Amino acid sequence: MTDFEATEDDGQRELLAHEFERHRSHLRSVAYRMLGSVADADDAVQESWIRLSRSDADGIANLAGWLTTVVARVALDMLRARSARREDYVGTVLPEPIVSIPDNETDPERDALIADSVGLALLVVLDSLSPAERLAFVLHDMFALPFTEIAAIAGTTPAAARQLASRARRRVQGSTPAEDTDLAQQRELVTAFLEASRNGSFDGLVALLHPDAVFRIDAGGRGELAREPIHGADAVAEQVLASGTPMARFARHAIVNGSAGVVVVPEGRLLAVLGFTIADRRIAAIDLIADPEKLARVSLA
């Protein structure tokens, strides 16, 4: 290879890398919705770059579509492998949270994910779907991919892909409340929740909770915290007072997956992330993430 050819190859690779970076945020959004993990999403996106760099890029007519298809296939394989590993998991599996501390400088890529993120409650429902159902719902309902393309990824027919999305849609609509989106109002409610927790006020907590509130804990499938979801305002309030009151004084406001949330940081060590789902001015769900592996990937800088 001549120096000219080497220089030309380097230039083409640099151009390809530039084009790939233009699509990175979109690809991360697709992968995070599919996987519920920033780390796994980054792995899927990186795999799409490896496959692109080894392909004949000149023959790709629609680079964004090609990359989305690759990321979706990688994510689908990861979901299928993950399902087989969770049989012995104790408690709820919650997503890896996307956390931002108000007024702190954060990573621009993480900022983009936060701005385009989905709530923990929706991700919990998505995690209950089969891998194929999740693929169909995410790609069609969230990113408007046609069923012909989804069918090719899932290895099925367009009609079957449509049915997968329809089943997933019914599950999502039946399991997720219409959330209040005013961040200031969300934060007022979270502030009141923290105050009631610090004061040990059972009645105060019950007044803030939806009657059908659910409290979910992900402790990594092990340890004393690992338990099944707790349902009902009274039961949730009892759980919060039993284990949360001592930690409430270490709570700091945060943005968790685009909504008002809390990080618990005693002596500078991240102990837990709490996400809140708020509907009709009541707390409909509290998701407490205490899995050390997930917390290790949360940056509070």
Distance CA 237, CA 120 (A): 20
Other Cβ atoms closer than 10 A to 6:
10
Cα 296 to chain centroid, rounded: 16
Query: 169-177 — which CB contacts under 8 Å span 24+ positions?
Result: 169/137, 169/141, 171/125, 171/128, 171/129, 171/133, 172/122, 172/125, 172/126, 172/137, 175/125, 175/128, 176/119, 176/121, 176/122, 176/125, 176/277, 177/121, 177/210, 177/277, 177/279, 177/280, 177/284
When pLDDT is cut at 50, 70 and 90, the band that residue 116 belongs to is low
Q: Are 202 and 238 in contact (CB under 8 A)?
A: yes
- Give first-to-last CA distance, the chain, whole Å: 47
pLDDT digits (tens, 9 = 90+) for 123-150: 999 999 999 999 999 999 999 999 999 9
Distance CA 139, CA 205 (A): 38
CATH architecture under which domain 120-178 falls: Orthogonal Bundle (1.10)
- pLDDT at position 82 over 90: no
DSSP string, 81-99: HHHHH-TT--S---PPP-E
Is the fold of 120-178 the same as that of 183-295? no
Distance CA 276, CA 183 (A): 11
* Residues contacting residue 140 through CB under 8 Å, at least 6 positions apart: 146, 147, 150, 161, 165
Radius of gyration of the chain (CA): 21
Which region among 190-204, 244-258, 273-287 has the lowest average model confidence (pLDDT)?
A: 244-258
Q: Tell me the domain boundaries of the chain.
A: 1-87, 120-178, 183-295
DSSP string, 151-187: HHHHTS-HHHHHHHHHHHHHHHHHHS------HHHHH
Distance CA 222, CA 296 (A): 16
Task: Report pLDDT for 2.
Answer: 52
Q: Are 243 and 67 in contact (CB under 8 A)?
A: no
Helices 147-154 and 158-175 pack at an angle, to 10 degrees, of 100
Most confidently predicted of 1-5, 29-33, 226-230, 297-301 = 29-33
pLDDT digits (tens, 9 = 90+) for 173-189: 878 777 777 888 999 99
- pLDDT at position 108 over 70: no
CATH class assigned to 183-295: alpha beta
Q: Are 163 and 156 in contact (CB under 8 A)?
A: no
Q: Please tell me the number of Cα atoms within 13 Å of 128 on its side-chain side.
A: 15
- pLDDT at position 6 over 50: no
- pLDDT at position 80 over 50: yes
pLDDT digits (tens, 9 = 90+) for 194-245: 999 999 999 999 999 999 999 999 988 766 666 789 999 999 999 999 877 7
Beta strand residue intervals within 166-271, DSSP E: 209-218, 230-231, 251-256, 259-264
Task: Report pLDDT for 4.
Answer: 41
* Mean of pLDDT over the chain: 87
Task: Report pLDDT for 179.
Answer: 77
The yes/no answer on whether domain 1-87 falls in CATH 3.40.50.2300 is no
Q: Which residues pair with 209 in a beta bridge?
A: 283
Percent of the chain, pLDDT > 70? Answer: 86
DSSP-based three-state secondary structure for 8: helix
- pLDDT at position 121 over 50: yes
